[in-house]
Amino acid sequence: MSFRSAVITFPGSNCDRDMAVALEAVSGTPALRVWHGDAELPERLDFIGVPGGFSYGDYLRCGAIASRSPIMRAVVEAAGRGVPVLGVCNGFQVLTEAGLLPGALMRNAQQTFVCRTVPLTVATSQSLFTAGYEAGQTIRLPVAHHDGNYFADEATLDRLEGEGRVAFRYGETCNGSRRDIAGVLGETGNVLGMMPHPERAIEPDHGGSDGRALFESAVNALVAA
Amino acid sequence: MKVRIHVSLKPGVLDPQGRAVHHALEGLGFTGIEDVRVGRLIELDVADGTSDAALDEMCRKLLANMVIENYRIEKAEMAQ
């Protein structure tokens, strides 16, 4: 069974190729590439990647314009049908702006761009994206962002924690995120948004391969289904 | 019709940009500044008769992020 994945490209996306390469490396099947102006997604998708970058030059707010593009209506609809959707970095911003994930990503508290590899704690292994990790495990992934400061009101944060929807937390001070949240899951568990870049840590030559298990988890979830 | 949309961070939402501007002002020797918050001003030129409800919807759907921001709609004086 082949794994049908698609990666969306917006004007200003710059991690779309990395995401596609990671998906192919792990699944053995090339990812389909989808342009933001398309109104429809390819049929029978098993996975949708919303990549990092600076869509629309971060105009208005990061991810704001991309989240209103024609293809995102199709992504929101697919997510509603249960198709796994992963948003990384700018992709996370796009998914919050699209209303698929709660909260917002604000300017880093220290005001500076942060570009380094950080330790992360896997907060739950109970998701199709994190099943390949142990809860409490520390992994290392690169971050590269200016607006990764996760904000949600206290009630929302309590709810996310109570429902096991925090996927990853920073293991060190990174950007001022509320409760050190680095990645969150959607209500039905098939949407994950995260600031760190798992697609940049697939092969040992990348300096680490801790991101590989995330994509493997998604592929295995499909095979098991 | 000219309309100004003032977008500002909700009270209680940390504004790192405002804090940096605050520090810079103090660095220039200005004193007595209690707080600085940075917002955004969006000027629209819309058809006369555009309803308040439509303007409101524009703000809620795109111009402001209601998770972190408030907005205020200001209609400019009609040209003489």
pLDDT mean over B10-29: 92
DSSP 8-state class, residue A53: B
User: A109 in contact with B at a CB cutoff of 8 Å?
Assistant: yes
Query: Is the per-residue pLDDT at B78 higher than 60?
Result: no
Q: Which of A82, A100, A113, A95 is nearest to A51 (CA)?
A: A95
Would you state the pLDDT for residue A191? 98
d(CA A23, CA A25): 6
Q: Which residues contact A108 (CB under 8 A, 6 or more apart)?
A: A114, A145, A146, A147, A148, A149, A175, A176, B16
What are the residue ranges spanned by the domains of chain B? 2-75
- What residue numbers bound the domain in which A67 lies? 5-224
Q: Which residues contact A179 (CB under 8 A, 6 or more apart)?
A: A157, A161, A166, A169
Would you state the pLDDT for residue A222? 85
Q: To the nearest whole number, what is the mean pLDDT of chain A?
A: 96
Q: Which of A15, A3, A12, A2 is nearest to A197 (CA)?
A: A15
**Residue pLDDT, tens place only, A4-34:** 999 999 999 999 999 999 999 999 999 999 9
Tell me whether strands A114-122 and B40-45 are parallel, antiparallel or unpaired.
unpaired
Query: Is the per-residue pLDDT at B80 higher than 50?
Result: no
Q: Give B20's contacts in chain A (Cβ within 8 Å).
A: 111
d(CA A143, CA A123): 18
pLDDT-derived band at A223, boundaries 50, 70, 90: confident
Pick from B16, B61, B68: CB nearest A109:
B16
**3-state SS assignment for residue A200:** helix
Interface test with A, best of B13, B23, B63, B65 (most A CBs within 10 A): B65
Query: Is the per-residue pLDDT at A206 higher than 60?
Result: yes
Which strands, in side-by-side order, build the sheet including A114-122?
A: A32-35, A5-9, A47-50, A85-88, A191-194, A181-185, A166-170, A114-122, A138-145
Q: To the nearest whole number, what is the mean pLDDT of chain B?
A: 92
Query: Is the per-residue pLDDT at B79 higher than 60?
Result: no
Tell me the two tokens of residue A179: 């409760």
Q: Are A55 and A11 in contact (CB under 8 A)?
A: yes
pLDDT-derived band at A84, boundaries 50, 70, 90: very high
Restricting to B residues 21-60, those with a Cβ less than 8 Å away from any Cβ of A are none
Pick from B13, B62, B63: CB nearest A151:
B13
pLDDT-derived band at A1, boundaries 50, 70, 90: low
Would you state the pLDDT for residue A167? 98
pLDDT mean over B65-77: 92
**Total count of domains within chain A:** 1
pLDDT mean over A86-93: 98
Q: What is the CATH number of domain B2-75?
A: 3.30.1280.10
**Residue pLDDT, tens place only, A103-116:** 999 999 998 999 99
Q: Do B16 and A102 touch (CB under 8 A)?
A: no
Query: Is the per-residue pLDDT at B59 higher than 80?
Result: yes
Instruction: Say what the ipTM of the complex is.
Output: 0.83
Pick from A60, A106, A111: CB nearest B68:
A106
**Residue pLDDT, tens place only, A133-144:** 999 999 999 999
Catalytic: A36?
no
Q: Which residues contact B13 (CB under 8 A, 6 or more apart)?
A: A106, A151, B68
Q: Are A3 and A27 in contact (CB under 8 A)?
A: yes
